[in-house]
């Protein structure tokens, strides 16, 4: 579910954000007191509706287990989402019910959020250089030309510990124990990514949770190698 709303919010922020925004690119504004910088091309209501529609498509595309959500797809609520000002703030809420042995059923509410700034113009720092930009992570050894590279934004899956020996990543490779989070006590679940080669006992392992940074290509091209999937910028 988080992957679905992240993708929808991020994608609409960079594709349609510049035709439905309030304020200038270098500062946040109160949308109630400022006029839109671009008028008449796309309303914020239409942008929000499009974002929610894309999120719904991604929910189906990612095989989100709707059977665990009370009411299925109809039980997913986006009512608190907004696309006002310079941000797309996608909020989803739903209820889940699980049987708890002799105690009956346990009900709880789930709230998730994906908030991304609309692309509303060039950053001032970008105007100081005509160079190309790439994306890196704090502990990574390669740079990426595509922000949406699957190696940069891994899809994380929770699996039973007993399942890991039979699992294969999308390249057909087996999973080995992560060297970074190997000291963490393993519970009943492990975490794997679509293209990774390690399984993790800690979902917050830094090998999974990358800190993505945007840097000039010339700053890293002689220090890091290009990603084997998305390559160097053209």
pLDDT tens across 42-100, in order?
A: 577 888 898 999 999 999 988 898 988 999 989 999 999 988 777 889 999 999 988 76
**pLDDT above 80 for 198:** yes
Nearest to 12 by CA among 82, 112, 92: 82
Give the C-alpha separation, 116 to 119, whole Å.
Answer: 9
Backbone phi and psi for residue 118, each to the nearest 5 degrees, phi listed first: -65, 145
**pLDDT above 80 for 122:** no
The helix-helix angle for 44-61 and 2-15 (nearest 10°) equals 140
Question: Which tokens sit at 142?
Answer: 């390669």
**pTM, whole model, 2 decimals?**
0.46
> Per-residue pLDDT averaged across 137-156, rounded?
80
**Mean pLDDT across the chain, nearest whole number?**
79
**pLDDT above 80 for 155:** no
Give the C-alpha separation, 55 to 88, whole Å.
Answer: 12
The pLDDT value recorded for residue 183 is 56
Around Cβ 64, how many Cβ atoms within 10 Å? Answer: 17
> Per-residue pLDDT averaged across 205-222, rounded?
80
Give the C-alpha separation, 160 to 67, whole Å.
Answer: 19
Give the C-alpha separation, 79 to 186, whole Å.
Answer: 38
The pLDDT value recorded for residue 40 is 39
> What radius of gyration do the chain's Cα atoms show?
21
The pLDDT value recorded for residue 18 is 60
Query: What's the full length of the chain, in residues?
Result: 234
The pLDDT value recorded for residue 36 is 42
**pLDDT above 50 for 142:** yes
Q: Give the least confident one: 15-19, 25-29, 99-103.
A: 25-29
Give the C-alpha separation, 212 to 154, whole Å.
Answer: 12
């Amino acid at each position: 579910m988080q992957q679905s709303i992240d993708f929808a919010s991020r994608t609409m922020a960079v594709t349609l954000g510049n035709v439905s925004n309030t304020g200038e690119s270098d500062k946040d504004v109160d949308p109630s007191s400022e006029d839109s910088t671009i008028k008449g091309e796309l309303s914020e209501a239409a942008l929000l509706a499009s974002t929610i529609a894309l999120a719904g498509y991604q929910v189906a595309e990612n095989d989100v287990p709707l059977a665990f959500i009370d009411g299925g797809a109809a039980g997913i609520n986006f009512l608190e989402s907004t696309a006002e000002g310079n941000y797309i703030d996608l909020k989803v809420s739903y209820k889940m019910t699980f049987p708890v042995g002799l105690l009956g059923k346990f009900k709880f509410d789930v709230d998730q959020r994906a908030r991304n700034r609309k692309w509303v113009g060039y950053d001032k720092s970008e105007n100081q250089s005509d160079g190309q930009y790439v994306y890196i992570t704090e502990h990574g050894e390669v740079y990426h030309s595509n922000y949406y590279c699957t190696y940069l934004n891994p899809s994380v899956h929770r699996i039973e510990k007993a399942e890991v020996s039979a699992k294969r990543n999308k390249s057909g490779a087996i999973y080995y124990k992560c060297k970074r989070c190997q000291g963490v006590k393993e519970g009943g679940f492990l975490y794997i990514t679509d293209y990774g080669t390690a399984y993790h006992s800690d979902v917050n392992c830094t090998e999974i949770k990358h800190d993505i940074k945007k840097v000039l290509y010339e700053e890293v091209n002689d220090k890091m190698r290009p990603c084997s999937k998305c390559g160097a910028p053209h």
